[in-house]
Structure 1
Amino acid sequence: MSETHLKLAASQRDWIAVDWGTSSLRAWYVQNDGFVQTNARSTQGAGSLTSSEFERVLLDLVGPWLKVDNTPLPAVICGMAGSRQGWVEAPYVPLPASFSELAQNVVRAPMRDTRLAPVIVPGVCQNNAAGPDVIRGEETLLLGLLSEAGTQRRTFCLPGTHSKWVHTENHRMLHSRTFLTGELFALVSQKSILRHSLEGSGDMDLDAFRRGVTDIKTGSASFLGSLFSIRASHLLNGTDPHTAYAYLSGLIIGTELKELQESGQLKPGDVVDIIANSALTRGYSSALTVFGATACVHDGDMAALKGLSKIRKDLTDDLVSN
Structure 2
Amino acid sequence: MMHPSDIADSGEVIAIDWGTSSLRAALMAPDGAVRERIASPDGIMFANGRRFEDIFRALFGEWIARHPGATILASGMIGSRQGWVEAPYAACPAGFEDLARGLVFAEVEGLAKVGFVPGLSIEHDDGVPDVMRGEETQVFGALASLGVSEGVFVLPGTHSKWVRVEGGRIIGFRTFMTGEMFDLLRRHSILGRLMPEGAPKGGEPGEAFDLGCELSGSGTLLHHLFSVRSRGLLGKTAPEQLADYMSGLIIGEEVREARTFFTEAPSPVYLVGRGDLASLYRRALAHYDLQSAALDDGVTFAGLFALARTHRAQMKV
Fold shared by both chains (TM-score > 0.5): yes
Secondary structure, aligned partner of 1:297 = strand
Matched to 2:90, the amino acid is: V
Q: 1:248 to 1:9 in 2, by over 3 A?
A: farther
In 2, the alpha carbon distance for the partners of 1:68 and 1:292 equals: 51
Task: Measure how far apart 1:37 and its partner are.
Answer: 1.5
Map of 1:172-251 to 2, 5 A cutoff?
A: 172-199=169-196, 200-217=200-217, 219=218, 222-237=220-235, 239-251=237-249
Secondary structure, aligned partner of 2:170 = strand
In 2, the alpha carbon distance for the partners of 1:135 and 1:51 equals: 26
Map of 1:31-70 to 2, 5 A cutoff?
A: 31-49=29-47, 53-67=51-65
Which position in structure 1 is the counterpart of 2:113?
A: 117
Segment of structure 1 superposing worse, 77-86 or 26-35: 26-35
Q: Deviations over 1:22-78 (max 9, x none)?
A: 111001112334332210101111233489621122222223323189x56431111
In 2, the alpha carbon distance for the partners of 1:73 and 1:224 equals: 51
Task: Measure how far apart 1:310 and its partner are.
Answer: 0.7
Map of 1:75-154 to 2, 5 A cutoff?
A: 75-112=72-109, 114-129=110-125, 131-147=128-144, 148-151=146-149, 153-154=150-151
Q: 1:297 to 1:90 in 2, by over 3 A?
A: same
In 1, the alpha carbon distance for the partners of 2:148 and 2:141 equals: 13
Q: 1:192 to 1:8 in 2, by over 3 A?
A: farther
Which position in structure 2 is the counterpart of 1:3?
A: none
Matched to 2:238, the amino acid is: D
Secondary structure, aligned partner of 2:301 = helix
Name the TM-score, length of structure 2 as normaliser: 0.88
Q: Is the 8 A contact 1:50 1:86 kept in 2?
A: no
Secondary structure, aligned partner of 1:296 = strand
Segment of structure 1 superposing worse, 116-125 or 44-53: 44-53
Which position in structure 2 is the counterpart of 1:291?
A: 288
Uncovered stretches (5+) of structure 1, i.e. residues with no partner: 1-6
In 1, the alpha carbon distance for the partners of 2:13 and 2:267 equals: 38
In 2, the alpha carbon distance for the partners of 1:306 and 1:8 equals: 14
In 2, the alpha carbon distance for the partners of 1:250 and 1:57 equals: 39
Task: Measure how far apart 1:13 and its partner are.
Answer: 1.6
In 2, the alpha carbon distance for the partners of 1:110 and 1:300 equals: 29
Matched to 1:56, the amino acid is: D
CA RMSD of superposed structures (Å): 2.5
Task: Measure how far apart 1:266 and its partner are.
Answer: 7.4
In 1, the alpha carbon distance for the partners of 2:37 and 2:313 equals: 22
Q: Deviations over 1:161-183 (max 9, x none)?
A: 10001101100111110000000
Q: 1:231 to 1:34 in 2, by over 3 A?
A: closer
Task: Measure how far apart 1:268 and its partner are.
Answer: 4.7
Task: Measure how far apart 1:11 and its partner are.
Answer: 3.4
In 2, the alpha carbon distance for the partners of 1:280 and 1:150 equals: 23
Q: Deviations over 1:263-304 (max 9, x none)?
A: 332755632011112411000000000000011111111x11
Q: 1:17 to 1:235 in 2, by over 3 A?
A: same
Task: Measure how far apart 1:198 and its partner are.
Answer: 1.7
In 1, the alpha carbon distance for the partners of 2:137 and 2:49 equals: 22
Segment of structure 1 superposing worse, 246-255 or 45-54: 45-54
In 2, the alpha carbon distance for the partners of 1:286 and 1:128 equals: 28
Which position in structure 2 is the counterpart of 1:4?
A: none
Which position in structure 2 is the counterpart of 1:271?
A: 268
Q: Tell me how many residue pairs correspond in the alignment.
A: 306
In 1, the alpha carbon distance for the partners of 2:147 and 2:28 equals: 22
Secondary structure, aligned partner of 1:300 = coil
Q: Deviations over 1:181-211 (max 9, x none)?
A: 0000000011111222123124343221111
Task: Measure how far apart 1:318 and its partner are.
Answer: 11
